[in-house]
Chains A and B, each alone.
Chain A
Amino acid sequence: MRAILLNRGIQALFVLLVIAGWMWATEVRGVSRLFLPPLDSVAASFQRLVSSGAFYEALKVTLSTVAQAYAIAVVSGILIGYLVSRSRFSTAVFEPVISGIFAIPLTLFFPLFILFLGVGVSSKIAYAALYSFFPVCLNTIAGLQSVEPRYIQAARSMGASSLEVFRHVQLPAAFPVLVNGLRVSFLICFAAVLGGEVLMSVEGLGRNISQSAESMNTASMYAWIVFVILTAFVLNMVVTFIENRAKEY
């Protein structure tokens, strides 16, 4: 507990130092406003985006994109992971292929999603779903592989169907590894949606950042970045909380 408090204290101190450095650079050194606008103009811009409700529209678009992409990734990841793990042979055939594809920077394929699905939300859903599919699938395979085969045989010999074996033996045993994959894949999903929005889109949080950058409205860009960072911290806390609760269970 004390260690956590100490960490939080150090982090708070660091944030204060960054703010102090920012003020020093803009007020004393006179860094160009185009690169680093004064803190009060960013604060004003931030206040405007909060009070005008502009954040709400963008946040809604981004979070609903994340939710849809994540749902696709989780369902398909667990399903394909399960199917691949049905036999040792298919695991040996497919697992290296799946982890090999994941080693390629999948951002490369982003232009294809734009070509197939356009600049709207759907290309971001598909792109983020593809990205976050891999950790779910790979962790499902790893988790199912770690299940003691004797338990499965015991359940089988007592007349359990495949579904019952999955529900009562494999899923509980693979759960900790799977939960880890679910957390990692959610964070990847969020980053991928933001990335897709920054690279090419018409709405969402990421789009607001790149749009303010393109119009050289730096104060607004910083305000949106601060907003996204706060969102990332909140999501991170929520996910860690859920993970800890799930592991207790």
Chain B
Amino acid sequence: MTPIDATGPSGILSRKALTQDQKVVYTRILVILGVVVFWEIAGRFLINPAFLAPPTHVVRALFTTIFASPEIRYAIWLALVEVTIAYALAVVVGIAIGLAVGITEPGRKAMFPIIVMIWVIPNITLLPLFMVVFGLGPVGKIAYAFSGGIFPIMVNVIAGMRNVNQLYVRGTQSMGGSRLDELRHVVFPNMVPSLFTGLRLGMIVTMLGVIASELYVSANGIGYYTRLYSEVYDPAPLFALILTLAVISITLNELVRLAERRFTRWRR
């Protein structure tokens, strides 16, 4: 992704730049491989096996424990469903509130300070509150994740509607455009990049919310298994479970990033 330093028009220069890029990628892969090999050696010979499992054992546990157990598969599936529902709610409600607040100047002035004030609160402190009010099941976890994920979306929608170039607005007006034309052709297109930033951050925060509440509740779901494996000092399935969830998180992040690139391409 790093921009190639193609200062000259000659093909030689760009070919050299390309090999430089390949060198970067190969070095990166080597470094990561080195870390994995070191982890394998440390896990096998150096560190107490009650705490660290080598990658080979983790991969084995992935198939013998995590994917083999219908209960754990169900727990992971449920977490995925929770993320999906919470994110869908955060997107719909966040955009709706963002539009309602951002569409008029007085609305922005009145509501934005309040939204910012609530946003400053470390929302993890409200996690026990959500669990008391909504219970320890999926509803509480969805509600908590939603309450966090909605904020970046709301804030970025409002910010995107605020930073409109007034020249374009006046241009539309002088050409006889209605308020609706102004929104359709000036305000909304201007909002798109900011909206996608919000959608991306919202995904991260929503995922954090589901993970935090899953870990908080140790009576069921993923939190039950993480606590079980730490208490019996069996790190291989614990690492495997965390690895699975990390892969899911990265995939979801990348999906949102892909959508962002797809829908903001016209701006670049």
Which A residues form the contact surface with B (CB < 8 A)?
6-8, 10-11, 14, 34-35, 89, 92-94, 96-97, 103-105, 107-112, 114-116, 190-191, 194-195, 198-200, 206, 209-210, 212-214, 216, 218, 221-222, 225, 228-229, 232-233, 236
Among candidates A10, A94, A103, residue contacting B253 with C-beta atoms closer than 8 Å: A103
Q: Determine the distance from Cα of A232 to Cα of B125 in the docked complex, in whole angstroms.
A: 11
Among candidates B117, B121, B131, residue contacting A11 with C-beta atoms closer than 8 Å: B117
Residues of A within 8 A of B64 (CB): none
Q: Is the CB of A111 within 8 A of B249?
A: no
Q: Determine the distance from Cα of A97 to Cα of B216 in the docked complex, in whole angstroms.
A: 29
Knowing A93-B31, A195-B212 touch, does A218 contact B132 (C-beta < 8 A)? yes
Q: Is the CB of B24 within 8 A of A92?
A: yes
- Nearest A residue to B243 via CB reads A108
Knowing A107-B208, A198-B216 touch, does A228 contact B250 (C-beta < 8 A)? no
Among candidates B24, B51, B124, B239, residue contacting A191 with C-beta atoms closer than 8 Å: B124
Residues of B within 8 A of A92 (CB): 2, 24
Q: Is the CB of A104 within 8 A of B125?
A: no
B180 within 8 Å of A (CB atoms): no
Q: Determine the distance from Cα of A200 to Cα of B250 in the docked complex, in whole angstroms.
A: 25
Q: Determine the distance from Cα of A109 to Cα of B246 in the docked complex, in whole angstroms.
A: 9
Number of B interface residues at 8 Å Cβ cutoff, please give it.
47
Residues of B within 8 A of A112 (CB): 238-239, 242
- Nearest B residue to A109 via CB reads B242
Residues of B within 8 A of A213 (CB): 128-129, 131-132
Q: Is the CB of B249 within 8 A of A104?
A: yes
Interface string of B214-253 (1 = CB under 8 A from A): 0110000000001101100101001100100110011001
Q: Determine the distance from Cα of A203 to Cα of B66 in the docked complex, in whole angstroms.
A: 33
B9 within 8 Å of A (CB atoms): no
Q: Is the CB of B124 within 8 A of A198?
A: yes
Q: Is the CB of A209 within 8 A of B31?
A: no
With A89-B23, A213-B131, A228-B122 known, 10 other A-B pairs at CB within 8 A are: A11-B113, A14-B114, A107-B212, A108-B242, A112-B242, A190-B122, A194-B122, A199-B215, A218-B132, A232-B122
Residues of B within 8 A of A209 (CB): 125, 128
Q: Is the CB of A206 within 8 A of B124?
A: yes
> Chain A's nearest CB lies how many Å from the CB of B117?
5
Q: Determine the distance from Cα of A221 to Cα of B125 in the docked complex, in whole angstroms.
A: 10
- Nearest B residue to A96 via CB reads B1
> Chain B's nearest CB lies how many Å from the CB of A130?
14
Q: Is the CB of B204 within 8 A of A103?
A: yes
Q: Determine the distance from Cα of A222 to Cα of B27 in the docked complex, in whole angstroms.
A: 52
Residues of A within 8 A of B117 (CB): 11, 14
> Chain B's nearest CB lies how many Å from the CB of A91?
8
Among candidates B109, B114, B238, B250, residue contacting A103 with C-beta atoms closer than 8 Å: B250
Residue among A8, A92, A233 with max Cβ neighbours from chain B (10 Å):
A92
Interface string of B22-63 (1 = CB under 8 A from A): 011001100110000000000000000001000000000000
B86 within 8 Å of A (CB atoms): no
Q: Determine the distance from Cα of A200 to Cα of B223 in the docked complex, in whole angstroms.
A: 11
B133 within 8 Å of A (CB atoms): yes
Q: Is the CB of A198 within 8 A of B249?
A: no
Q: Is the CB of A10 within 8 A of B249?
A: no
Residue among B113, B114, B239, B246 with max Cβ neighbours from chain A (10 Å):
B113
> Chain B's nearest CB lies how many Å from the CB of A76?
17
Q: Determine the distance from Cα of A8 to Cα of B116 in the docked complex, in whole angstroms.
A: 11
> Chain A's nearest CB lies how many Å from the CB of B239?
8
Q: Is the CB of B124 within 8 A of A221?
A: no
